[in-house]
Amino acid sequence: MELPPAPSFRLDGKRAIVTGAGRGIGLAAASALADAGAAVTLVARSGAEIEAAAAAIRARGGKADALAADVTDVPAFARAVAERGPFEVLLNNAGGARHANLLDVTETDYDAVTDLNVRAAYFAMQAVARGLRDAGRGGSIINVSSQMGHVGGPRRSVYCATKWAMEGFTKAAALELAPLGIRVNTLCPTFIETPMTRPFLADGPTRDWILSNIRLGRVGQPQDLTGAVVFLASDASSLMTGTALIVDGGWTAA
């Protein structure tokens, strides 16, 4: 009896770029991608932070370098990707939120969140995809969305709008890029404890609301996502494109 081969989760010989890599989800993902064999470029505005993170990955035997860049500066980031690429893996992770009741949302807050979560993410995807097309290579683009790209949430109308938008452009991009061998999917976490989320997770009523919706009964940690990241980046997910991998502890199951 001839058994089918097991898929490989290894990323040896591949280059990955991770935005928002200075801390939290991005840092954990960059570390996991390096552990799987990828050469990882960590991107964030905070140069010293990502230099230290890249050094820590190298000290453990991984391959990593740092790129201090602001992804909202679309032309500058595209130039950096063109100069350093091509990258077979993109973790499009840089993002943010400014939560407020719908009646209190300002144009400034709306524009800031949309500029980062939609415009910058879209053009980061475009820059990496162009590099792969020009090099004649396939790859995997992972857009970090959210469970809030599939449901609604109080005080999150702008954030939800941006993540639903990401889900839409991911599906459209997957259709266009499939003939080039480029896969595009979203990773959709629930609430993950990071330096950015820790302040509001410390608020009792907010934490109670979150835990009442996460059926597994706990807030996520960055390492809860890294297996999904490596899976989507690797050939183990070679038939997946245009879809969402939801890691939400059961939030959207109800």
Assess whether 122 carries a catalytic annotation: no
Distance CA 80, CA 67 (A): 8
Beta carbons of 142 and 120 less than 8 angstroms apart? no
Distance CA 128, CA 87 (A): 6
Q: Which residue in the list 122, 159, 191, 231 is annotated as catalytic?
A: 159
- 3-class DSSP string for the chain: CCCCCCCCCCCCCCEEEEECCCCHHHHHHHHHHHHCCCEEEEEECCHHHHHHHHHHHHHCCCEEEEEECCCCCHHHHHHHHHHHCCCCEEEECCCCCCCCCHHHCCHHHHHHHHHHHHHHHHHHHHHHHHHHHHHCCCEEEEEECCHHHCCCCCCCHHHHHHHHHHHHHHHHHHHHHHHHCEEEEEEEECCECCCCCHHHHCCHHHHHHHHHHCCCCCCECCHHHHHHHHHHHCHHHCCCCCCEEEECCCHHHC
Q: Which residue type, as a one-letter code, is found at position 49? A: E
Catalytic (active-site) positions:
159
